[in-house]
Amino acid sequence: MSAEANIRTLTIDGADISARADQTILEAAREHNIAIPTLCHLEGLSEVGACRLCLVEVKGARRLLPACVTRVEEGMEVTTHSAKIDRYRQMILELFFAERNHVCSVCVANGNCELQNLALELGMTHVEIPYQYPQLPVDASHPRFTVDHNRCVLCTRCVRVCSEIEGANTWGVMGRGAQSLVITDLKEPWGESETCTSCGKCVQVCPTGALFEKGRAGTRTAKHPEFLPYLRIMREGDQP
């Protein structure tokens, strides 16, 4: 197949764009500096379409589609911002805040939190949905790291990085819906996990203060997930 045959042309927000056939709407948009908010997406990890913040309108589709897992198609007409999309994204964001206990003022991630940044970007001024205030555990059994489920948004970045990059498969998800929890091994205390290599990648990719380094609360420590694409490229280079 020729290179040309792999190219698709489409419009995003009225702009004519060409993209490779294996690219998603999100990838094509970001290549052309068109902003689409995301939370579960992280460059270097597989896509799961969990957070739904990247919903876009595609002409002809009856519902909004997640840009991170929808491939570009020839002649596609994509809208990334409209009153309807903004309303949906706002609602999704409010659901995140209402679902668990996100208290920015005393959070280790305050100032370096992707959820907080999204609230600012999307202009969330308040949460109309009643807060659920679930009573969720904090696991501080690991010598270096802590998981606070109160701040988890179930993006599964930790699960993916542990599986896809570190290869340890320590993290998993248990339960269903809002009751889901990320767990280490078979829900053993993190400090007792036999598979965890203590590499800390999960902490670095966590978008909120759910996973953090001990003793750093209140110090506004930034996370550094940017190592991921490099790691991935280097590992792919090692393949026979």
Partner 1 sequence: MSRTIVIDPVTRLEGHGKITLKLDDAGIVQDAMFHVTQLRGFEKFCEGRPFYEMPNITARICGICPVSHLVASSKACDAILAVQIPPVAANLRKVLNLAQLVQSHALSFFYLSSPDLLLGMDAPPEERSILHLAHSHPSIAADGVALRQFGQRIIEIMAGKRIHPGWTIPGGVNEPLSAEKRDRILGMIPLAVAAIQRTLGWFRKEIEKFSAEIEVFANFPTLFMGLIDDRGLAEYYNGALRVIDSEGNIIAGELDPAHYASFLGEEVEPFTYMKFPYYKPLGYPGGAYRVGPLARLNLAGRCDTPLADAEWREFRATSARPLLSSFHYHQARLIEMLHATEKIEALLADKGILDKHVRAIASVNNSEGVGVAEAPRGTLIHHYKVDENGLIRWVNLVIATGHNNAAMNRGILQAARHYVQGEHIAEGMLNRVEAVVRTFDPCLSCSTHAMGQMPLTVELRAPDGSLVREVRRG
138 lies in the binding site for partner 1 (CB under 8 A): yes
Among positions 134, 175, 218, 229, the unique one binding partner 1 when judged by CB under 8 A: 218
Task: Identify the DSSP state of 85.
Answer: H
Residue 132 pairs with which residues in a beta bridge?
A: none
Q: Single out the segment in contact with partner 1 by CB under 8 A; choices: 74-82, 83-91, 135-143, 192-200.
A: 135-143
Cβ partners under 8 Å of residue 230, min gap 6? none
Which H or E run includes 139? Answer: strand 138-139
Q: Which residue has the tokens 């792999």?
A: 6
Q: What's the farthest any 2 CA atoms get from each other in the chain?
A: 57
| Residue ranges in the chain assigned as alpha helix (H) | 25-31, 83-99, 114-121, 157-160, 201-205, 227-238
- Residue 140 CB, shortest distance to partner 1, in Å, is 4
Among positions 220, 227, 229, 233, the unique one binding partner 1 when judged by CB under 8 A: 220
Among positions 143, 177, 237, 240, the unique one binding partner 1 when judged by CB under 8 A: 143
Among positions 84, 216, 224, 235, the unique one binding partner 1 when judged by CB under 8 A: 216
Among positions 2, 33, 105, 125, the unique one binding partner 1 when judged by CB under 8 A: 105
Binding site residues, partner 1, CB under 8 A: 105-106, 108, 110, 137-141, 143, 146, 148, 191, 214-220
